[in-house]
Amino acid sequence: MAAMLEINGITVRYGAIEALHNVSMSVDEGDVVALIGANGAGKSTLLKAIVNQVSLQEGSISFKGEVVSTAEKHKKSVPTHLLSQRGIALVPEGRHVFADMTVEENLDMGAFLVKDPVAVAKKKEEMYDFFPILGARRKQKTRSLSGGEQQMMAIARALMSSPHLILLDEPGLGLAPLVVQDIFNKIHLINQQDKVTVFLVEQNARMALKASNKGYCLENGNIVLADSSDALLRNDKVRAAYLGE
Amino acid sequence: MLNFFQLIIIYAGIYALMAIGQNCITGNTGMLSLCHAGFFCIGSYSTAIICKVVGLPFWFSLPVAAIVSGFVGFLIGVPTLRLKGDYLCIATLGLGEIIKNIATNVNPVGMMAVPRAELFGYQFSSRNKFTFILLVWFFVLIAYLLFRQLAHSRLGRAMTAVREDEVAAQANGINVTKYKIGAFILGAAVGGTAGCFATAYTLTVQPGSYTFMVSVMVLCMVVLGGMGNLAGVILGAFIIEFISYFPQLVGLSSVIPAQASQIIYGLVLVIMMICRPQGILGRDRYRYGDGRKTRRSAAVKKEA
């Protein structure tokens, strides 16, 4: 299958500090790909590079065969807000919900680019079926939701635009293990039922590798390991460094 | 006394227009800007120049004032967009001062004897304040209705999203830059029309009057009434205007210096921040789906 997201040798520097060094990876259509790494390894920078929140010093990123971000000066990168039109949805780290809006209004914002109101209403109902807790809380301000509920709402909001690829930045951050499990189950379903390709950035290596079929390991801005998730779970280095075994 | 009350109502109307513009920038879109005096200045000068120098009627100057101010808002919005919070505040403060200083240097004595606004042969003048009240508040009403409509439109939703969370707004396909500039243009345009009415009332333009304090006052009105709440900011305009004329109103203007009003509304703001930080009428929220009929919900109903 053709690679949906292709990252070709990207380097990102913040001043003198190199956050990513010649990173290459690919996400195939229909896959769940996990990127694991410690704090400060460059995981978030990689995600920011995909959505064009940081500029590349070298390399390029293409989505469905089209370049969306490049270090070359004469070629233009696609600005963040246009990526959702192309089928990339981002669930930002720390959720970034519209706290003063209700759940329903948040979901409406997720479908900002969808012009057909009937389609939006239908999609919302789908989301309420998929995340029953959101249906129950639809008129409630997002501020009053628990962390796990907010995370689910952030995912639902991202799904409102019917993306082909969903980028999840630390979906399990700061949540209770049971809630994390619940969220990863949902991610699995999103991938299996809705055929949405998932790219997952997570510190919780065990959870991420169990939920994915391919994994990359990022260390100090370099990809040090790339393999199927099963193989990574058995890999001695990974077990020692990330799984605490 | 009645005369004086009428004067306050006229100025409250003019400032309400300013506050509605400031509210679009600060209340709806969340940008702390401090250059509304600049837009006010541009609107005033546009009217004075069109009515006096060019010799066209007041009604022609109204859209011109709005367009010119809106354009300046665009010019200010573009370079300051990357700034947030305090930095944006300082940059806009500087730009507001630049506008004032340009006016002071180009036209130090100001302009006097600007022709009056006329409607079907009737001249609006400060001698008959009641008709002037009707004139100003008619436009406040129009601005109120327009901006209320805006807040519930797609544009308004996007602006609210930008205020709430820029990262999330972008992730959902909202062009943050575009809506920020849009808010600046709209806010500036309304500020310009306020200047237009100020000139029509006083028939003079003085470059020294568009100080930083005017911008602060307008911001105070928005904060006092409730950010994003249109009825609130109009109420805020009333209260601030009332406070600033209070010494004259009670006949103590010889005892209490004019600057004392600044102390009073500074105090009012501090008390507000402690007791009711959301403003008198509270922050308005984006209210889609709460019974208010929008095109979207109407269409869904039709389908069902």
The DSSP element (H or E) to which A166 belongs, if any, is strand A165-169
pLDDT in tens, A67-101: 888 888 777 788 888 888 889 999 988 878 888 88
At B1 the pLDDT is: 75
At B289 the pLDDT is: 43
B-chain residues near A92 (CB < 8 A) = 167-168, 171
**In-domain check, residue B284:** no
CA A52 from centroid of its chain's CA atoms:
14
**In-domain check, residue B275:** no
Helices (H), B49-128: 58-80, 85-106
CA distance A223 to chain B (A): 26
Nearest CB partner across the interface for A161, out of B154, B173, B296: B173
Of A145 and B276, the one with more pLDDT: A145
Number of Cβ within a 10 Å radius of residue B150: 18
pLDDT in tens, A94-125: 878 888 888 998 999 888 888 888 999 999 99
Domain that holds residue A136: 3-241
CA distance A41 to chain B (A): 22
DSSP state of B263: H
| Number of domains into which chain B is organized | 1
Looking at chain B, which residue has its C-alpha nearest residue A111? Answer: B172
User: What would the two tokens of residue B184 be?
Assistant: 């600046």
Q: Is the Cβ of A153 closer than 8 Å to some Cβ of chain B?
A: no
At B291 the pLDDT is: 40
At B45 the pLDDT is: 93
Q: Domain with A164 in it: what CATH number?
A: 3.40.50.300
Distance CA A137, CA A145 (A): 8
Q: Could you tell me if B194 and B45 are in contact, meaning their C-beta atoms sit under 8 angstroms apart?
A: no
A-chain residues near B175 (CB < 8 A) = 79, 81-82
**In-domain check, residue B280:** no
Cβ pairs A/B, distance under 8 A: 87
Local confidence band at A201 (pLDDT 50, 70, 90 cut-offs): very high
Distance CA B137, CA B131 (A): 10
| Percent share of chain A, pLDDT over 90 | 37
Domain that holds residue B207: 2-211
**In-domain check, residue B247:** no
**In-domain check, residue B129:** yes
Q: Could you tell me if A135 and A119 are in contact, meaning their C-beta atoms sit under 8 angstroms apart?
A: no
Looking at chain A, which residue has its C-alpha nearest residue B152? Answer: A105
Main-chain dihedrals φ then ψ at residue B85, nearest 5 degrees: 55, -125
B-chain residues near A112 (CB < 8 A) = 154, 157-158, 161, 172-174
Q: What pLDDT tens digit does each residue of chain B (304 aa) get?
A: 788 888 899 999 999 999 999 999 998 898 889 989 999 999 999 999 998 888 888 888 899 999 999 999 999 888 887 787 788 889 999 999 999 999 989 888 888 877 777 777 777 777 788 888 988 999 999 999 999 999 888 888 899 999 988 888 988 889 998 999 999 999 999 999 999 999 989 888 888 888 888 898 899 899 888 888 899 999 999 988 888 887 777 777 777 777 777 787 788 888 888 888 788 777 765 444 444 444 455 555 555 4
> Are the Cβ atoms of B172 and A84 closer than 8 angstroms?
yes
Q: Is the Cβ of A144 closer than 8 Å to some Cβ of chain B?
A: no
| Number of domains into which chain A is organized | 1
Average pLDDT over residues A173-198: 90
